[in-house]
Each structure stands twice: as C-alpha cells, then as structure tokens.
Amino acid sequence: MFKKTIFRTILSATILGATISSVQAAGNTCIPIGGTGMPNFVPEKDGTITIVAPLTGSVATASGKITAQRKTATGLEMDMEHYFMSKEGGFMRTKDLGILTKVQGKKDRYMIEITYKVENGSTSGVFKGLGGTFNSYGLVDLENLQGLIRYSGKVCK
C-alpha cells in the first residue's frame, strides 16, 4: 500500500510537472513579486533624489531615482524609475508613478503608493522576457529620508 501511494505521488508530480512545462512553453509564465523594503532617500546636487533599498522577498535590492515631483491637494506625485536585482541573477528596470498622501499631524510623513511598470527590453536573468506591473504601499519619512514599503504583484511573459 505504501509503495503504491509513493508511486501515485511520483506519477502525479510528473504529470503536474509536464502540465506546468506546457503552460510555460505556451508563454504564460509568471513570477510572483512580493516582499518588503526599507528605502533610503539621498538628495543629489542636480536636484534629483536617489533611492537605495534593501529588500526581502523575491527581489534582493533596488535602487532608483525620483525624476520629477508635483504638489497635489493631498501631498505629492512623483515620476520615478527603479532598478531591481534578484539573488538568482535577475534584473529589471521600471518606470513608475508614486503617490504620496500627507499624514495629518505628522511633519514630513507620507503614505506612499507606487505602481511599477517593467520597461520592455530591460530584463535579464530570471526576469528575462517578463513584463507587466506590480505595486507597493507604505510610509515614508522625508524629514529623516527613510521609509518602509510592502511590494506585491507578478511579472509575466
């Protein structure tokens, strides 16, 4: 009985593996993106702001730039670009929109939401050929130039 169960399990895993391979071969491969980050903001002499962040989860590290800022009725809107690297040897570049909403009663504190759009032709390694969008949200402290975010989504072929 035990041997039959193991055999069925191995057979089921083999069939499942073949099914997954055929889905990947059909071009429907997706990689989940998710984890947390601790961005640090570095003002540059040219007026831009560089972002450097250690990440946990599916991406190991990120860097980026805030390329433009606009004041809104509730805070700020930012054009951004990011560069993401994985531990497995993957890279992707994104062009982004960040929305900062002022936290009432807290000096220079903002809730942040970012939509990351993977740039065509910017991926390599485990991200090669993948595209799409993913999101993050969190809190940033622009007085101390630091933050905490949660990112999630998926990138697909």
pLDDT score, position 27? 57
pTM for this prediction: 0.80
3-class DSSP state of 87:
coil
3-class DSSP state of 125:
helix
User: Is residue 32 within 8 Å of residue 132, measured between CB atoms?
Assistant: no
Round to the nearest angstrom and report the end-to-end CA distance of the chain: 42
Q: Over the chain (157 residues), what is each successive 10-residue block's mean pLDDT?
A: 40 35 54 95 88 94 93 95 94 97 96 97 95 97 96 95
Judged by phi (left if over 0) then psi (alpha if -120 to 50, else beta), residue 136 lies in beta
- Helix, strand, coil proportions of the chain in percent (round to 5)? 15, 55, 25
pLDDT score, position 47? 81
User: Is residue 99 within 8 Å of residue 112, measured between CB atoms?
Assistant: yes
Give the pairing type, strands 61-71 and 49-57: antiparallel
pLDDT score, position 48? 82
pLDDT score, position 71? 96
The full set of domains in the chain, from first to last, is 30-156 (2.40.350)
Q: Which residues contact 131 (CB under 8 A, 6 or more apart)?
A: 118, 120, 123, 155, 156, 157
